[in-house]
Every structure is written in C-alpha cells, then in structure tokens.
Amino acid sequence: MDDNQQNPSSGDEVALRRIQRLSLHLYNPSEPHSGGLSLLPCRAKRNLSPSVESLSEYMRGPHREIQARIFEFFQSRPDLQTPVEISMAEHRQLCMRQMTALVREAGIRPFRYLVENPSVYFAIAEAVGGVDISLGIKMGVQFSLWGGSVINLGTKKHKEKYFDGIDNLDYPGCFAMTELHHGSNVQALQTTATFDPITDEFVINTPNDGAIKWWIGNAAVHGKFASVFARLILPLQGKGGKSADMGIHAFIVPIRDLETHALLPGVEIHDCGHKVGLNGVDNGALRFSHVRVPRDNLLNRFGDVSRDGKYTSSLPTVNKRFAATLGELVGGRVGLAYSSVGVLKIAVTIAVRYSLLRQQFGPPRKPEVSVLDYQSQQHRLMPMLASTYAFHFATQYLVDKYSEMKKTNDDQVIGDVHALSAGLKSYVTSYTARSISTCRESCGGHGYAAVNRFGILRNDHDIFQTFEGDNTVLLQQVAGDLLKRYQEKFKGGTLTMTWNYLRESMSSYLSQPNPVTARWEGEDHLRDPKFQLDAFRYRTSRLLQSVAARLQKHSKTLGSFGAWNRCLNHLLTLAESHIESVVLAKFIEAVQNCPDANTREVLKLVCDLYALDRIWKDIGTYRNVDYVAPNKAKAIHKLTDYLSFQVRGVARELVDAFDLPDLVIRAPIGMASEAYEQYTQHVGF
C-alpha cells in the first residue's frame, strides 16, 4: 500500500492493495517501474557468480596455515585415519596415537597456543575435530580441561612443575568434576579434600557412591593425573570447633604410576563402557579412599591454605570464589561452540553436494531434476546453510573476544564472554544436533550408510549439548544475566558490549509498533539490515520486559525459585532470542566489512535469508503485538522462499568455500566430484 495514503477506510485499503497487486502482474519484469512496491525488479533473475576463492579467503581467517598442516599430516598417515568400523578398544588406542603423533611427530603444540594465542588453539581444535571428533574431544580434555585447570586455577609453582609434561604428553590427565549424583550443580559436589595439619597434606575422599567421579575423560585407560574438584574442609575451624567447609576447590591428584601405569593406592577406576558416540575417548569412574596429596597440590589461585592451616583468599565469599573458579573454565564452552560449527559445516556440505548430484523425477518427457531444485529440499537445507554462515562469524567473534579477555582481563570483556559463551555454546550445539538429523533425512537411504558420516557425526556430536554445561542450564544463565542488565539499565549502570542495545533502544522497542512500518512489504525494506536487526531486538526486549514483570508477580506467592520455575520456558525463549540477535548483528557486520563487492553481495543474500527465516519461524510473536501486519507477514514468507531459491543457485560455491578437504568430508556422496564412482568403489564394485 502507498505509504503516503492517509487513513483510508478499511474497504478502500483492501481495494487499493488489490489494484496494486494486479498491476504487478501487468508490468514487464525487465522494465523498472515507479510503483509503491518495487518487488518485481528485485525478483528479476540475477546471475550471481561468487568466487569460491574470494569467499573462502574471507571465511578462513588468519590461522588456515596451521589447519592445512594438520590435514596434510593426517593425509600422509593412513595408519592414523579412523576407519568406519572400529572397536571401542581399538578406537581409544588409535585416538591416543593420533594425539601423540600430532604433538611429537607433526610438531603441533596445542597447549602452548592455548596459553599464548587461544585463537590458534581453537583453529587447531576445529581441524583435529574434522579428522575425528573423538580426537578433538580427547585433545580438549588433555589441554583445555586438565591443562587449562592447572594453568588458570593454579599459580606459578604449578605451571613450572606441570606445563612441559602436559604439553609433551608425558603427563596425560583428566578433569574430575562431574559426580554420579551431580553434574550441572557443581556447588553440590560431595567429594572432600580435608586438610591434615600434622602431615601438611590434603586427604581426598569419596564419602558415598553418589560422589564417585563419573564420565571422566582420559580416566579409564590413559590418564596419570586428575584435577579433582572437591570441598575443601578445614578441621576445627568452623563454628563451635566444627569443621569449616570452604567450598569447591581443585586439586592435582596423581592416579597412576608414571612408570608402570598401575593405579596408585586408594584410587579405584572403572570403565564407563561403550557410549552412544565418542568411543575414542576413554571415560571412567573414579573413587578415592583417603588419598593423600601434598598441600602444594591445591590449585590456589583463588584460595590458599598455609602450613598452619589458615585459609586466605582475595575473594571474600564462597560464592565469589566459586564464580571465579568456574569463570576461568569458559574456554571449553568457547571451543565447543566453535567446533560445533565445524561439524555443521561437514554435515551441510555432504547434504548440499548430494542434493545437487541426486536427480529424481521431473516434467513429463524431460530429464530428471536435481533434488535441490525441489522447494521442499531448499526449505530444509538453504536456511541451514545460511545459519552455518551466521554461526561461523558469531563464533569467530566469540573466539576473538575470548582472546582479548585472556590478554586484558578487562571486567567488561570477561562479563561479555561468560554470558556469550554460555549462550552460543547452547544455541549452536542444539541447532547442529537437530540439523545433522535433517541432513541425514534429506539424503534419503544413502544418508543412512555409515560411510556417509551422518550417523557418526550425530552420535559423536550429540553430547556437545550436555558437557561443559547442560544447554538448558546455560540458557538460564544467559537469561539471568539479561535480567541483571535489565535491572542495571534503570540504575544507570554500565552494560557490557553485547548488551548495549538494551540501553540504547529499550524505550523505542517497548513503544507501540508503528502502524505504517508494520505494513511495509517492499523487498528493499524487508532486506534492510536495520529492519531485520530491529525486529530481532524488539522481540528480545519485549520478552525481557514481560518475563521481568511475570517474575515479580509470581515471586510474591511462589518465592524466587518457584517464580523462576513457573517462568522457565519464557526465560529460555528470551535467552535464545538474545543469542539470535547477537548472531545476526555479527553476520551483518561481517557482510559490511567484506572488501570484495561480489563476495559481499553473496553474503548479503545469505544473511537476508538467515534473518527473514528466523523472523518467519517466530511470526506469531510479531503478529501478536502487531509489529508485523498480515500482509507483511505474507510478504516475509514469500520472500524467504524466494531467497532460499536464490541461495540454491550458489549453494555449491557456498559449501565449497568452507574449504574442507576430502580427509574431513570422507563421505562418498559428499565428494566434490565422482561421488557415485567413489560410493560404488567403497562397496566393492
């Protein structure tokens, strides 16, 4: 409808819109016109011709060289490549040989990069996960969890004693936090570390079966040390002469003899057995029976015990020490979010290439058409491809912010990284898990063959949704942080970078939607980044304001815990909405910063599809508050379908730009050429 029309009657408005729509059919699409709706000229077919090399160059970032070294090394070593069929025991031994060869033969030292340049470490982790996800996780346990706990929670003496052994794999280790009865609720762990002032030692003990350390990577076979998280107990220092519980601390506990590899006294380990996936990682369960370790084995960055048993800390409360301890471990979440995007790239590449190759049915007496020419297949895969690009840029931003945090220790950056890593880890890994199954289904029967990777990828990746923080719990952390920022907004406090829009735009987002713009349906408007980002942020701000009001209301009768539980689904939706806003903002920035005009045009197309697909999937929210009128909702739906069609035209180039070698893809149906030939050869023809 003409935006300058003033207050038409309902009947006039309908009639005018019908006339305009009829006029669109009469225009020649090849000739521009000056009508109020500039849809047809935009829809005239444009032949985008993206340069794979240019797009790949922009995507790959600064650390592609070290990834190429890793790929070349494993390509040259068939004995280190994981076969499709392999037993659990063989896979575990192969995984250890792969990691050892990477460090000692290829000369790749992940631990040094983790400490000195984290962005390189995450690039290594992505490449290694492409070789075998089990290898990527085992490497993460060794360097990011076991090694990271020593470096980040310990002090100079610990680094001097353990750094080289962790780095060169002389000291393979574990991260023993999770217990049989407690995973997400770390503050409720039951393992104890009681100080003995007579011997100057801590006594590590498992008080009951619920406190058995469970799912501990590297424990069943290869680990020689463990970072054990336990309650630090000081005898006679509590009220009335009772023991004082100083909260959760981490301790270095040797679990096997360095020479004989025999279990040390008081340490009992059992194998957790065959898992749904990641069977190259040896998970074990550990029980400690009064195991003594020197006082120096306390990782004492945030709390220490003197020779005479006095506790000191720069942080005044148990809760602050706990937050600081867990805060130093966010690197694992950053790595999982980044690596999950790598898995998604593999799955999408296989599905898109096969959908381009596979031909089924077609017009009468005409050749069969590519499966990806069907709208239903485009609807399945093209928004997913767009999301993969969006997540790539968002997680790259997260890695950059994490590296900045480690260099500067700036409080604002720390707060930003903690919440953003929780949100992106949760959102991206959940999306990837769903998408792998969709990719499998989109490839029909051939997608069910183990050699074509979807089953292995799905099973190995599935646990990404649980470890390093259950996704539902992490989203609650994001929601809690948003509510905290919302409160600070009204107190004049400063907001971390990612949350700036809450301060800048909360008032405008919470005002009544503009009845004129709510009806704009032109393609130029719908593809305007400002409209897209405003829509995302409006939704987040509405959700934030409404859940804050609901919590306040319910807390009066249910208490804070009951109110939170009553509003839990609302809170999870809020967190996801915020993360989607951040992802879109980073995608838009990436498009605008792209130096090559042709590549920028292609990325803009992909970004528009990501944004409008997300708006359409939650169109009910926008309709409920009249942010989008019915005609505009219909236009968004139509344009989303058309953008999927356009992206299909460059889908091959978009997946090729991921620059994944055959070593990583491995699926015959996902090969860039001769896919059917490789598939038939695999089965013996």
Active-site positions read: 468
Q: How far apart (Å, rounded) are the C-alpha atoms in residues 191 and 194? A: 10
Token pair, residue 86, equals 């392999």
Q: Return all residues near 571 (Cβ < 8 A) that are at least 6 apart.
A: 475, 476, 479, 547, 564
* Residue 352 vs residues 196, 378, 380, 684: alpha-carbon distances, Å: 62, 9, 10, 25
Q: Return all residues near 664 (Cβ < 8 A) that are at least 6 apart.
A: 71, 130, 131, 346
Do 151 and 191 contact (CB within 8 A), yes or no? Answer: no
SS3 content of the chain, % helix, strand, coil (to 5): 60, 10, 30
Q: Return all residues near 507 (Cβ < 8 A) that are at least 6 apart.
A: none
CA 134 to chain centre: 17
Q: Which of 262, 209, 269, 221 is nearest to 88 (CA)?
A: 221
Q: How far apart (Å, rounded) are the C-alpha atoms in residues 467 and 456? A: 18
Q: Return all residues near 65 (Cβ < 8 A) that are at least 6 apart.
A: none
Q: Return all residues near 17 (Cβ < 8 A) that are at least 6 apart.
A: 1, 631
Q: What angle do CA 109, 140, 201 make, to 5 degrees?
A: 95
Do 72 and 128 contact (CB within 8 A), yes or no? Answer: no
Cβ burial of 321 (10 Å; 0-12, 13-18, 19+) is: buried
Write the DSSP string, 444-491: GGGGGSGGGSHHHHHHHHHGGGTTTS-HHHHHHHHHHHHHHHHHHHTT
Token pair, residue 481, equals 């942080």
Q: Return all residues near 674 (Cβ < 8 A) that are at least 6 apart.
A: none
Write the DSSP string, 64-110: HHHHHHHHHHHHT-GGGSPPSS--HHHHHHHHHHHHHHHHHTS---H
Q: How far apart (Å, rounded) are the C-alpha atoms in residues 255 and 568? A: 41
Residue with tokens 């009681």: 194
325 is in an annotated binding site: no
Do 599 and 54 contact (CB within 8 A), yes or no? Answer: yes
Q: How far apart (Å, rounded) are the C-alpha atoms in residues 391 and 380? A: 17
Do 149 and 329 contact (CB within 8 A), yes or no? Answer: yes
Other C-beta atoms closer than 10 Å to the C-beta of 9 total 8
Q: Return all residues near 98 (Cβ < 8 A) that are at least 6 apart.
A: 74, 80, 82, 131, 132, 135
| Rounded CA Rg of the chain | 28
Token pair, residue 525, equals 């408007």
Other C-beta atoms closer than 10 Å to the C-beta of 165 total 17
Number of H helices, E strands in the chain: 26, 11
251 phi and psi, to 5 degrees?
-135, 140
Other C-beta atoms closer than 10 Å to the C-beta of 83 total 10
332 is in an annotated binding site: no
Which residues are documented as binding site for FAD?
178, 217
